[in-house]
Amino acid sequence: MSRQPRRTHASRSPQEYGAASGSRTQPTSSRTQATSSRTHATSSRQPATSSRTHQYERAPSHSRTPSGSSAYRATNGRGAIAQGVATGAIGGGYGPYAYAPPAVEQTPRGNGYANGAAYANGNGNGNGHTTSRFTNGYTAEAPPPPRPREKAAVVAPVPMNTTNTVPQYLWEKDPEIDDALHNPDSRRDYFDFTIFSSRGWVNFGALLILVCGLLMLFLGYPMYYEFGHPRVAYSGYNLGGINGSGQVPDLNMKLLVDGDTPDDAQSRTGTDGHQYNLVFSDEFEQDYRTFNAGDDPYWEAVDLQYWPTGDIEWYDPKAITTQDGNLVITMTMEEEKNLNFVSGMLQSWNKVCFTTGYIEMRVSLPGSPETPGFWPGAWTMGNLGRAGYGATTEGMWPYSYDSCDAGTFPNQTGKDGVPDVSTANSGSPLSFLPGQRVSACTCSGSDHPGPDVTYGRGVPEIDLIEAQIDVSVWRGQVSQSYQIAPFNQEYQFNNDSSVTTIYDDSLTEFNTYKGGQWQQAVSALTYVPDDSYSGSFTTYGVEWYSDPDNRDDGYMTWFVNGEKTWTLTAASIGGDSEIDMSGRLISEEPMYMIINLGMAPSFQQQDFEHMKFPAQMLVDYVRVYQREGTTDGVTCNPPNRPTKDYIDNHMSAYDNVNATTWSEAGYSFPRNSAYDGCT
């Protein structure tokens, strides 16, 4: 095909321009002409020189055929597209807000075309073209023509869609279709309510839960704590008492003296005529207390089998709680740790101890006088031995001895067989004890709790009660005892009435059991009222006094329901020269309390046919008094009988329930100067 000479934009007539422009409205013919003559196609894209300005516009065609508007021919490249988008010529017919404004007659303005006048007819009448929604008469200066000898960029016509269904300027009159927040007339929304709105009820419920939670956190819980945990007004001085300004703090913490203890129980008169003041009490008025390790400042329930006495139950802390103003220890028939019964033992070991004083407990025994087999106990032990931890008691329990002689030896016999105690127990060995571990014979520099190695230390035991049934008459009895070592011949203490007193022999008698190779029992049995069981209470107590400077003044007196039952004195447990043994001591050790409900055939045979489970031992209160003027009497670590450092230095024994001997815990007995020598 031959190439036609290029004709310049200026050489074309308006009629030719119009013909070329008009031909673009016919897609088929325009493409044919563009193919047949590049000159013609090029010339048809040149803007008219008769006008320097023109209006971008969009054709009113309802088809997808591109318009032949001069607005698309007036510019080239990206600038034309950007300006077309900015003025609405491109894209104005799409989307939810598309519009189709009515056709408007356009008249030429000045030398160009105003309000969208097209180059379609050179006179600028603009017939058949519309105004952009953004321009409304705005005119734009046409860009300069291409440089000579350059080809003008060919801008492809942009397809457009229009709609006649949505009125012009919709966004200025009505709410936006997809944005309720921009509703210009939202007053009626205030009254748009339905009670059947599930979403509304969910929102209301969430707000209600939130408000109730906040009220409970900041109002309900403080009220519950205030009224559910009554605070005790207690006056003190210095540490825990008045501060520098003289104010007395109201510390919400459990004190040694329970605030629920009645005023008339704050003091008593002892059997020695002295006034005894209350120094510790627990009324157990707060329900559902727990006694796991660390739960309580004064008590702890153990988790073990009490193997030293052959008990057939497992002691579990879950068996002990408080309810209705009582401490409750429940024995159940259930399997635990290969045993068939579960019960509880409560101790104040290394927490609350007393050197002398009067202890009283009000107790309801389990079962009845017709059901032997239970072994409820309330007792005390020296703090250097932890009940149930065999390593701590080996060579310590039940020594209460401060002499350096054969009484400290293993089996109470020297290496040379002297003294000969083989016949001191009706032909049987007198003692199986390994000897007093920390005696007054301890060699200097050895492992000893103090105050120094010349002090004999031990773990004596004082029993308020160990309850049993006298099956010969079917009456309840309690054993009230002092367990000691070393032992008299035949375990016989001095029970002469001049030094040992029974106050009512119709109720109390000396215990026929006097001990064995492991302990000497200085004991008496007392009948208790038949209504001492299953919710009915009886009061039991023991008063003891000791003075290291005047040991002959020491004594112990036991009580049932406030009445004295029997008394032993220092003379009751005096020495025995035949076996080279000095007198034992009324305890000078800091003593801690133990309350338990057990069973052991070694104590009394069980009558399982009549025993009922679960069985409960109840304790209404525990109260401890001390003689007025006593110093360092309410502590587990008194300066004249310290225990803290020794316990801390031997925690492998005091924390290991499975260590049954001192050597198993990793320790050895110190040398005894009278038995081993110190060199």
Strands 140-141 and 53-54: antiparallel
Q: At 332, which CATH number?
A: 2.60.120.200
Strands 326-336 and 475-484: unpaired
- Spatial contact of 656 and 643, defined as CB atoms under 8 Å apart: no
Picking from 35-44, 100-109, 302-311, which range would have the lowest pLDDT averaged per residue? Answer: 35-44
| Residue 388: per-residue pLDDT | 97
Mean pLDDT of 71-97: 58
182, 206, 221: which is the final residue of a domain?
182
| Residues 589, 478 within the same domain | yes
Provide CB contacts within 8 A for 2, sequence distance 6+: none
Domain that holds residue 407: 274-654
Q: The tokens of 508 are what?
A: 């109390």
Classify residue 388 by its DSSP letter.
T
Please indicate, yes or no, if residue 123 is contained in any of the structural domains: yes
Q: What is the C-alpha to C-alpha distance for residues 476 and 492, in angstroms, rounded to an integer?
A: 25
Count of domains forming the chain:
2
| Residue 86: per-residue pLDDT | 63
| Residues 49, 159 within the same domain | yes
Q: Which of 406-438 are b and which e, b meaning 16 or more Cβ less than 10 Å from the residue's Cβ?
A: bbbbbbbbbeeeebebeebbeeeebbebebbbb
Confidence of residue 417 (pLDDT cuts 50, 70, 90): confident
Q: The tokens of 561 are what?
A: 């329901």
For the CA atoms of the chain, what is the radius of gyration? 54
Instruction: Determine the Cα angle at 143 with ends 139 and 146, to 5°.
Output: 155
Confidence of residue 224 (pLDDT cuts 50, 70, 90): confident
Choose among 300, 304, 328: nearest CA to 315.
304
Q: What is the pLDDT of residues 368-405, one digit of tens each?
A: 999 999 999 999 999 999 999 999 999 999 999 999 99
Instruction: Determine the Cα angle at 136 with ends 130 and 142, to 5°.
Output: 80
Q: The tokens of 639 are what?
A: 């300066």
pLDDT over threshold 50, residue 2: no
Q: Using omega within 30 degrees of 0 as the cis cutoff, is the peptide bond preceding 614 cis?
A: yes
pLDDT over threshold 70, residue 426: yes
Classify residue 463 by its DSSP letter.
E
Please indicate, yes or no, if residue 267 is contained in any of the structural domains: no
Picking from 166-170, 499-503, 612-616, which range would have the lowest pLDDT averaged per residue? Answer: 166-170
**Residue that wins the pLDDT comparison between 134 and 202:** 202
Please indicate, yes or no, if residue 227 is contained in any of the structural domains: no
| Residues 281, 174 within the same domain | no
| Residue 17: per-residue pLDDT | 40
Mean pLDDT of 177-191: 58
| Residue 269: per-residue pLDDT | 98
Choose among 93, 97, 105, 169: nearest CA to 137.
105
Q: What is the C-alpha to C-alpha distance for residues 533 and 372, in angstroms, rounded to an integer?
A: 12
Q: What is the C-alpha to C-alpha distance for residues 505 and 364, in angstroms, rounded to an integer?
A: 24
| Residues 178, 279 within the same domain | no
SS3 content of the chain, % helix, strand, coil (to 5): 20, 25, 60
| Residues 165, 281 within the same domain | no
Confidence of residue 41 (pLDDT cuts 50, 70, 90): very low
Q: What is the C-alpha to C-alpha distance for residues 616 and 477, in angstroms, rounded to an integer?
A: 17
| Residues 174, 285 within the same domain | no
144, 163, 182: which is the final residue of a domain?
182
| Residues 39, 166 within the same domain | yes
| Residues 17, 153 within the same domain | yes
182, 213, 241: which is the final residue of a domain?
182
Please indicate, yes or no, if residue 218 is contained in any of the structural domains: no
pTM value is 0.65
Please indicate, yes or no, if residue 566 is contained in any of the structural domains: yes
52 alpha-carbon distance from chain centroid: 86
Please indicate, yes or no, if residue 316 is contained in any of the structural domains: yes
Burial class (CB in 10 A: 0-12, 13-18, 19+), 228: exposed
| Residues 176, 307 within the same domain | no
Please indicate, yes or no, if residue 214 is contained in any of the structural domains: no
415 alpha-carbon distance from chain centroid: 57
Classify residue 502 by its DSSP letter.
E
- Spatial contact of 155 and 76, defined as CB atoms under 8 Å apart: yes
Please indicate, yes or no, if residue 483 is contained in any of the structural domains: yes
